[in-house]
Structure 1
Amino acid sequence: MGPDGWGRDSTEWAVHTAFRTDDPARHDEAAIRGRFRRMLGIPDLEIEVHAVSHWEFEGVVARRQRKGPVFQAGNAAHRHPPTGGLGLNTAVQDVHNLVWKLDAVLSGQASDVLLDTYETERRPVGEFNVRHCLTNAGGHARIATALGLRADQSEEEGWAAVTEWLAETPEGEAKRAAVAEAVASNADDYSQLGVELGYHYESGALIPDGTSAPERKHPLRDHVPTTRPGHSLPHAWLSHGGSRESVHRLIAPRGLTLLVDAEHAPRWESAAQAVAETGATGATGATVHVRAIGSGAEWTDPTGEWTALREVGGDGAPLVRPDRHIAWRAPSWTDDRPAELGRAVHSVLGLQPAHPN
């Protein structure tokens, strides 16, 4: 762990070891030093302990993620075992959700109401991920059982079980097969695209369109891209200036972004301009960026990948937030779309319309 460099020449190290919760030695610094020496096989090694911290197996979700001007994210909002590797992922998702809303409010593009949607959207995801990680951790017990390990056995019995698992014998082969089957049964721990990419919001800074979430053969492992409001913008490769770029590159870091077909871009640009001119954003200066994709535009879809994924007609458009979640979508163009766009923008940003009628 440094302090001046990382590697075998470091003079400070972090050592992780496990104690039973009822073992008094876990609080005994001398016993901890002795364990380190035994682990390293150097009985006379001089060790200076800077700090001892204890991690406990738990699943915790904060009751609130916002109280006034204070927001909780990451481990302050939810803690769980590392099984599934969702700790950092969930924390980054929290921050991605929160920062664009803070920016929108502080820059005058949205009202404080928008900040309430942080907890509305993120707390259910945190709760789900905590439950999922606890379930994943429980799956490891099946692997230990197949390996022949038990909580009440001695250390010698444990090593004997491992030795049998390694042995080139019929018994060892059978045990390896049982362990492999147990590992496969716990695939939700490490094969979970549905959790990592398929998380979405059912309410908050978005306008539901009455559609259902896409069906997945396995809800934890499978991810089905969709532009349904509340879901993440699907990734698709586009062409820009001769290079291949993700459609995600089109999403503005401030304001909302409409992704439209180049053929119909003029009418959507007029609609976005009308939103600003009529004060539908509460005269705050909130911006709707119109990004054209298709023939004659800077961004094209040569393989049709985006066209296949957008789930709206050529004259329709999804409205995307800076965190790349869909806020609203129009399946096609109608004469009412400019007014609908205005209502969607002020609703998403927590603003009152200038002309309620």
Structure 2
Amino acid sequence: MILGWLMVTSASTGIAEYYTGNAAYFSIRHGVYLVLGVAVMYLFSQIPLEAWAKVDVVFLLASVVGLVLVFVPGIGHEVNGSQRWLNFGIIKVQASELAKLAAVFYVSGYLVRRREEVQSQWSGFIKPLAILAGIVLLLLLEPDFGAVVVLMGAVLIQLFLGGVKAGQFFLLLIATLALSVVVLTSESYRVERLMAYLDPWAPEHVYGTGYQLTQSLIAFGRGDWFGVGLGESVQKLFYLPEAHTDFVFAIWAEETGLIGGAFAVMALVTVIGLIWQVGWKAQQVGNMYGAYIAIGIASLLGLQAVINIGVNTGLLPTKGLTLPFYSYGGSSLLICCVMIGVVMRIAYESAQMTVGGDDEQSE
């Protein structure tokens, strides 16, 4: 999170100076969210998993209400043509962030409550997907295709590890891929983005739909091995749009080079790996609810990181997804902190179960 604050501070100076007259504007706001995030992390680490198990359905319903409210004038807030934010005055919350976490909690609870049905009957497999289909539809209406990919990817991983039959899983995987192709080709701007991704340097794309990608690739090229120096980026000076949000990694790579970029990626990989380890240990001691939640959270963070870095490096078509813990964005950072707080609680309860089991064996 400190590294992310450094990234945002460096990447946002130009745009902050231009729009607010204060080069540190976004840095200060991000710093406030960071402090709030630590407090939120501690708060959620104190909530027992049993409490979440009682309200996971309510949490899911609340997230659906949030996704509906983004379309209500005066409450919903539009940015770059997408109606994704809830405007609470001092902070704008991205409703999809809550929906993704709510889906993870709901599927985790469902897999524990309906374990036999999930593993043996089609109904146990279809029921949660039918409910999540409503969330997916609302996300597509915003539109937020990136959030749909992350949410469905995490749910697929949870269902697979929850014991869904291989045939059912691969059928769902094929259906999800087919739906993705339909969604990608249903809107002209998505088709244009896809064509720009295939050849961003083409004359018709380089100053149009491929502009962000080409400017991002220029940033990586300038970074070379060791970068141009912290704070010395040229691309952040209005060449690369969203430099402090979706493309903060490109600016970091420009300023710190391959070495700095690799360090940032390894830090994220380490965190996600530790979350998987917490899930594995929870499964070993029989804390299946905690195990499924940890797996879902690791999948959410991992998929979002892969998509963001893939977009920044030109490996994936351009999508508006932040990089967890690094990109500027109050609601994104706070939700990431909530996730880590929950994982800390899972680790604590699993450790308590281990101690309790050892005590029983010694008696």
**Which category describes the TM-score, using the shorter chain as reference length?**
under 0.3
TM-score, normalised by the number of residues in structure 2:
0.25
Question: Taking structure 1 as the reference length, what is the TM-score of the superposition?
Answer: 0.25
* Structure having the larger proportion of residues in strand: 1
- Which fold has the larger relative contact order, with Cα–Cα distance below 8 Å and residues 6 or more apart in sequence? 2
User: When you count helix as a share of all residues, which structure comes out higher?
Assistant: 2
- Bigger CA radius of gyration: 1
